Amino acid sequence: MFQRKTSKSTGPSASAEEMQKKDTAMINLTRHEKEKYIPSDEPSSASAAGDQKEKPALETKKEHAHSGHGKAAQVHDLKASLTSHDSHKNCEVKLSVSSSSSAKESSVDNEEDMYRDAEEIEREKVLPVCVRGSSENKLSVAPEMDIIEYCQKEWRGNTEVAKRMKKGYEAVSQKFTSIRRVRGDNYCALRATLFQALSQTSELPDWLQSEDLTLLPEKLLSRYDWIKQWQLRQKLGRKMGELTDEIKDYLILLRKKWASMSEIKSPVERQAACDELFTNEEEEYCLYEAVKFLMLNTAIELYDDDKKGKKVPVFSWLLFARDTSSNPSQLMNNHLNQIGHTGGLEQVEMFLLAYALQYTIRVYRLYKYSTDEFITLYPNDPEEDWPVVTLITEDDRHYNIPVRMCEETSL
């Protein structure tokens, strides 16, 4: 059966008293409008850390879990953890953009065509979604470069933000020697995570081997009529079939590509095959649609489990506490359908991505350098047998990939 593991769920069973406390906590959550990340042809910098302690993104204190106010307290901690970075985005990130603009301009002038050329950007502004895209090969993940050199090129200023980034990259360089820039088009979180997973895989995950996987679209669409509003990335010269068949094809493609990568035993050859896959735009975006649908399926399972009083991860409470996603239908329309179009993944949705793929996503958050949140895990309580992929971010919006783990670290 295609089932999500729940043996390590952190939320208590939903008694009447707990549900009342949960509702009270949810009402008190600070609502904020979904931040739209404008697609950029200039990926942000990012990386991984040295001797900083790994910090679960939604760390819940043990005393909360065993107290009478356990659920409300956990939700309060979760909300604080996920919203604490908003002030940074509103001021420090803006500062870094202005203070390092001259440095970034020279980088963009030389490398912008690696993502999209100016003509293509202007053309996409006037073309409807249904006619965008082409069969041309595009580089989604740039070749690796020395991480310190990358930092020096991206952050030449002496502002407090620039100093923090430099220290963050320096710490990262103790673990990883190189970085690979990821194309910035609102798919970067999916792209970076999937690229890392496929380039490191050694076997096909059990959930991808399940026969239930290909039955999932028909199952969900027959049960939830609102899923017909799912927005697919449409291509030139390609007729869209039934939604069920389209998504089924995407899931089959994901299984096929994952199996193909896992059969390649040589890390060098597997990396080369992965690089080639991520220059095939047609297949690449089909894989993202498959992952997004898996995220929707996971969200539906979490929502239903919580309504039935089953244990669920703490992040799912906040996922459905937002005004824009109080149920799976809203989550799909206001968030998942927007990925790759008007916005990327929010932090709470990084947890959903991790659960959908059954991977632990370790993120080095450079703007959190010297804090306990410098290294964040999604989810905060992963299964022991979940593989781990590593990403780096400067602002919780754009993600790049650290590579070339230092020899002493790997040992």
Helix (H, G, I), strand (E, B), or coil: what is residue 375?
A: strand
Interacting residues of 148 by C-beta distance below 8 A, sequence separation 6+: 169, 170, 173
Q: Do the Cβ atoms of 210 and 195 come closer than 8 Å?
A: no
For residue 299, CA distances in Å to 149, 330, 356 come to 40, 11, 9
Catalytic positions are 185, 188, 398
CB-based contacts of 42: which residues, under 8 Å, 6+ apart? Answer: 104, 107, 108, 112, 115, 184
Of 401, 407, 398, residue with least CA distance to 389:
401
Question: What letters, b where the CB count within 10 A reaches 16 and e where it falls short, cover 345-370?
Answer: bbbbbbbbbbbbbbbbbbbbbbbbbe
CA-closest candidate to residue 289, choices 248, 259, 326: 248
The Cα–Cα gap between 185 and 140 comes to 10
Q: What is the CA radius of gyration of the chain?
A: 21
Q: Distances from the Cα of 201 to the Cαs of 57, 92, 107, 274, in angstroms?
A: 24, 37, 32, 11
**106: Cβ–Cβ under 8 A, 6 or more apart, which residues?**
153
Whose structure tokens read 């593989």? Answer: 387
Interaxial angle between packed helices 281-307 and 347-357, expressed in degrees from 0 to 180 and rounded to the nearest 10: 100
CB 89 within 8 A of CB 396: yes
DSSP string, 137-172: ---SBPPPEEHHHHHHHH----SHHHHHHHHHHHHH
**Residues whose CB falls within 8 Å of the CB of residue 343, separated by 6 or more in sequence, listed in order:** 34, 35, 36, 37, 186, 335
**Do 332 and 227 form a contact (C-beta atoms < 8 A)?**
yes
